[in-house]
Amino acid sequence: MAVLLEVNGVTKQFVGTRALDSVSLDVQSGEVHGLVGENGAGKSTLIKILSGAYTPDAGTIRFEGRAVQGWSPNQAREAGVVTIYQEFSLVPELSVAENIFLGRLPSAGVRGTVSYRKLNQAAREILGQLGLEIDPTVPVKQLGVAARQMVEIARAWSIRSKLVILDEPTAVLGLDDIARLHDLIRQLKQEGVGIIYVSHRLGEVVDLCDRVTVLKDGRLSGHLRREEFSPEKIVQLMIGRPVRDLKLGGHCTSRLVLQVEGLTALPKVAGVSFALHEGEILGIAGLVGSGRSEMARALFGIDPRQAGRILLDGQPVQVRSPQEAIHRGIGFLPEDRRQQALFLELPVRANITVGDLGRVSRLGWITSADRQVAADYAQQVRVKMPSLESPVAILSGGNQQKVVLARWLATRCRILVFDEPTRGVDVGSKEEIYRLIDDYVKQGGSTIVISSELPELLAISDRILVMARGRINGEFSREEASEAALMNKMVS
């Protein structure tokens, strides 16, 4: 195996902070190199330097033996370094084939024309080589998240990339898709492609990677070889201390708060019934596409329902819009915070109080309660921020999630529905968020937690429902639940 990439003492300074402080690592061709660290540890900065988006202030980078620090994104791509970010760069309206060959569509003989026969043929070949069963002629917008990612990888493969950087590739995938992605990565590896794999999911990293580089606060925290790594060891390097085994929940009472009967929101939710008790943390497991997020959206009145009753305290209630849901004391923390929950340019203050403007205003006029309420709840959930007036965009993923939680706590709602509460949240903040959920139910709140991370569900839930094909496919008490048992119901 040849050394593909050598990073030596790379440093990058931003106003006030040193995002990277003399970090070194090397990647060989045919190696899957894990890159892990908490949010803010410098992973993104490093990736951006490698892909040419940032120029390092100091240090050297050699790619295939050639010094390349300070190259442009185009130069990086031409040299064979492709970065696949969480936000995809595909054009939704164009077909799979057009996306794969965008910028180099085969001509039909005359310059400026496109031969769709050749294009689709070539795309089929590429997809075939990777063992992907995707129709090259369908528009990308019709594909699910997982298939889109496969198309991105197919594109990287088609331009003979030598180094593929994957930034949190599985954050948006369900378990079966993760397995397929990993097969694909192993195949690229077989072909001698070097891969940098950034992930928060340490189980995957341990499974997949040949070596792991751990960053902490912009510094190199350690390199681990395959023989020497385990999730515990990696976490220890990431946060500098061993993690405690945490078990939360156990505040569940017998009082029924919410009953959902035959909730149907086609095509994804087909007759879901369950009950939620005061003080309960009800976990919901399910693969992507099982209808778990759609169920939450229908419950919260975002998507229209075809059938189903919702009872609060035994009384049937109407929940036809988010407004009505909020009015009934239900809060919803969506999985995609940036797209669906945060007002990135607005200050933390406004992001917190926007959930219940009535509480911070009199006759439509915003009062000093705005600041006070925001400050109280920001403190309660311990948001780390420069000030209440900082735009929420500059906070880390974990702190952004805390802001959204503070918003809902400020509405004093009785039921909180979390969809992927710790997606994109670093290990340290995850634990804090679990504790905040626990605090909330301790004080009489009730929660539904949808998550694709089974260890998370197992650690915090009083009870776990498994969804598959739009229905509840299984129910487990805390004692009965195990990863294997849940998985069984998820895929059956």
Candidates 158, 90, 170; CA nearest to 122 is: 158
Contact call for residue 77 and other proteins (CB under 8 A): no
Segment near other proteins (CB under 8 A); pick from 194-202, 253-261, 352-360, 425-433: 352-360
Shortest spacing between CB 16 and other proteins, in angstroms = 9
Shortest spacing between CB 94 and other proteins, in angstroms = 22
Question: Toward other proteins, which CB reaches closer, 271 or 322?
Answer: 322
Contact call for residue 304 and other proteins (CB under 8 A): no
State which of residues 188, 235, 239, 350 lies at the interface with other proteins (CB under 8 A): 350
Question: Toward other proteins, which CB reaches closer, 288 or 326?
Answer: 326
State which of residues 60, 137, 187, 340 lies at the interface with other proteins (CB under 8 A): 340
Question: Toward other proteins, which CB reaches closer, 291 or 355?
Answer: 355
Shortest spacing between CB 340 and other proteins, in angstroms = 5
- Looking at the DSSP bridge assignments, the partners of residue 167 are 198
Task: Calculate the CA dihedral of residues 404, 407, 412, 415 and round it to 10 degrees.
Answer: -20
Question: Toward other proteins, which CB reaches closer, 100 or 448?
Answer: 448
Q: What is the Cα–Cα distance from 243 to 226, expressed in whole angstroms?
A: 21
The alpha helices in 170-230, defined as continuous H runs, are: 175-190, 202-208
Contact call for residue 366 and other proteins (CB under 8 A): yes
Q: What is the Cα–Cα distance from 24 to 37, expressed in whole angstroms?
A: 15
Tell me the Ramachandran region of residue 360: left when phi exceeds 0, alpha when psi lies from -120 to 50, beta otherwise: alpha
Q: What is the Cα–Cα distance from 125 to 148, expressed in whole angstroms?
A: 17
Burial class (CB in 10 A: 0-12, 13-18, 19+), 16: exposed
Q: By CB under 8 A, what part of segment 201-230 binds other proteins?
A: none
State which of residues 344, 382, 443, 483 lies at the interface with other proteins (CB under 8 A): 344
Shortest spacing between CB 43 and other proteins, in angstroms = 12
CB contact set of 210 (below 8 Å; sequence gap of 6+): 31, 32, 33, 225, 226
Q: How many residues bind other proteins (CB under 8 A)?
A: 35
Q: What is the Cα–Cα distance from 300 to 441, expressed in whole angstroms?
A: 19
Shortest spacing between CB 327 and other proteins, in angstroms = 8
**Cα-flanking dihedrals φ and ψ of residue 367, to 5°?**
-105, -175
Cα end-to-end distance, the chain, whole Å: 42
Shortest spacing between CB 361 and other proteins, in angstroms = 5
Contact call for residue 389 and other proteins (CB under 8 A): no
Taking CB under 8 A as the rule, which mask of x and - marks residues 281-300 in contact with other proteins?
Answer: -------------------x
Shortest spacing between CB 51 and other proteins, in angstroms = 12
Q: What is the Cα–Cα distance from 136 to 17, expressed in whole angstroms?
A: 45
State which of residues 118, 124, 309, 327 lies at the interface with other proteins (CB under 8 A): 327
CB contact set of 374 (below 8 Å; sequence gap of 6+): 348, 349, 350, 352, 353, 388, 406, 410
Burial 347-379 (b: 16+ CB within 10 A, else e): bbbbbbbebbeeebeeeeeeeeebeebbeebbe
State which of residues 40, 52, 291, 334 lies at the interface with other proteins (CB under 8 A): 334
Segment near other proteins (CB under 8 A); pick from 93-101, 144-152, 263-271, 355-363: 355-363
Q: What is the Cα–Cα distance from 150 to 127, expressed in whole angstroms?
A: 9
Q: By CB under 8 A, what part of segment 38-57 binds other proteins?
A: 44, 53
CA atoms within 13 A on the CB side of 271: 1
Shortest spacing between CB 293 and other proteins, in angstroms = 13
Segment near other proteins (CB under 8 A); pick from 104-112, 193-201, 280-288, 347-355: 347-355
* Contact set with other proteins (CB under 8 A): 13-15, 44, 53, 85, 87, 300, 302, 321-323, 325-327, 332, 334, 339-346, 350, 354-355, 357-358, 361, 364-366, 407
